[in-house]
Amino acid sequence: MAIVISGSSGFVGQALIQYLQKQAACPESDSSESGKFETDIVALCRQAPKAAADGVQYQVIDDWSGKHLSATINTGDSIVHLAGRAHQGHKCPGEEARLQEQSHLTLSQKLAKAAKAKGAKRFIYISSAKVFAENSEGHAQAFTQAIEPKPEDPYSRAKWNTEQWLEEYCTRHGLELIILRPGLIYDRHAKGNIAKLQALVNSGLPLPFAGLNKRRDMISLVNLCHLIGHCISCPTPARHTFVAADGASLSTSELITLLAIAEGKKARLFRLPNWLLKLLMTFSPFKQQWQKLSSEFALDNRECKKQLNWQAPFSPKQSLLEHSFSETAARTANTPTNEHKHNGAQ
């Protein structure tokens, strides 16, 4: 049996490979996952990495056709599907929607069909909590997998369409399926909105964000890797789809403070009246990012804990200060790639 990882050169993919190797090499570790991954890792990528991980079989896939994909999969393999176009703007919304569908739905269809044809055991798809909405403002409760998704942009619509197709196809053909919907994935030197916050922290400037204290449920990179590793080896769950979050909410101001501590700096936060901060951000180049980071995004991961018997092993502070994939993330952050860039979902 092998673990086949698509999007292996992306932010999450590189960290996952590093995590699985560490767990396989440390059977005496306190982690519940230690020793479970003494198996081959097959990394699917569009181009060979400059710094290849030892013991990993890298398969460069230029043509995501069934023939090429089938050659990388064997009976009993577990597929971890990370690859896909990052959520981004485009001058032509219609073209962006087409590219997102092609990158997520079409690619997933090809990989799932190849997995079924070769007798793979399990297909783990990393979706996004963005399928619910851009925020949970106005909702009576936190988002759970039981709430009907209402995606608002091409990226999240493509993710939701992919989920629905996989649910039908995998159920019909007996391919075990687990879908994870992670919130914002954070780590030192991540991309997206985390990178923007990190840059502000590193600037040393006073920041008027002390009042950004609304509930935001996220998941650290190390906790997500732990969850994916757990999904590879856990018993088949009764449900297919799960919300992925740390379980401890973290406001934007708290996240900024932790990012600063991780960098050996002091977060210079001060408070402005909400109306004044909103007015200032309306005319700033960071208007869109501020709207996301200042709004509530509440996730309920109780079903993930119950059905998968999983608990996030690390607190946000532990994740950033003691278990960061900062070196891996930093390499990835400076490498242009079309692989999965799911690190700033909200």
In a domain, 21, yes or no: yes
H-helix or E-strand spanning residue 6? strand 2-6
pLDDT of residue 37: 54
Sequence-distant (≥ 6) Cβ neighbours of residue 283 within 8 angstroms: none
H-helix or E-strand spanning residue 41? strand 40-45
CATH at 127: 3.40.50.720
In a domain, 268, yes or no: no
The DSSP bridge partners found for residue 16 are none
Contact 13, 43 (CB under 8 A): yes
3-state secondary structure of 157: helix
In a domain, 98, yes or no: yes
3-state secondary structure of 140: coil
In a domain, 258, yes or no: no
Residue 72's domain spans which residues?
2-190+219-247+299-314
Torsion of CA 338, 155, 120, 37, to 10 degrees: 70
In a domain, 31, yes or no: yes
Sequence-distant (≥ 6) Cβ neighbours of residue 208 within 8 angstroms: 269, 270, 271, 272, 277, 280
Q: How far is CA 108 from CA 12, 47, 69, in A?
A: 17, 19, 11
Q: What is the DSSP string of 60-117?
A: E-SS--HHHHHTT--TT-EEEE---PPP---SSHHHHHHHHHIIIIIHHHHHHHHHHH
pLDDT of residue 341: 46
pLDDT of residue 157: 93
User: Structurally, how many domains does the chain consist of?
Assistant: 1
Do the strands 241-244 and 78-81 form a parallel or antiparallel pair, or are they unpaired? unpaired
In a domain, 87, yes or no: yes
In a domain, 148, yes or no: yes
Sequence-distant (≥ 6) Cβ neighbours of residue 31 within 8 angstroms: 23, 226, 313
**pLDDT tens per residue, the chain (346 residues)?**
789 999 888 889 989 998 998 887 665 554 555 555 557 899 888 877 777 777 888 888 877 766 678 778 888 899 999 988 887 665 677 888 888 888 899 999 999 999 999 999 999 999 999 999 988 887 878 998 889 999 988 999 999 999 999 999 999 999 999 999 999 999 987 877 788 888 888 888 898 888 888 888 999 999 999 999 999 989 988 888 999 999 888 888 899 999 999 888 888 998 888 878 778 777 666 666 667 777 889 999 999 999 999 999 999 989 988 888 765 444 443 343 344 445 444 5
In a domain, 119, yes or no: yes
H-helix or E-strand spanning residue 252? helix 252-262
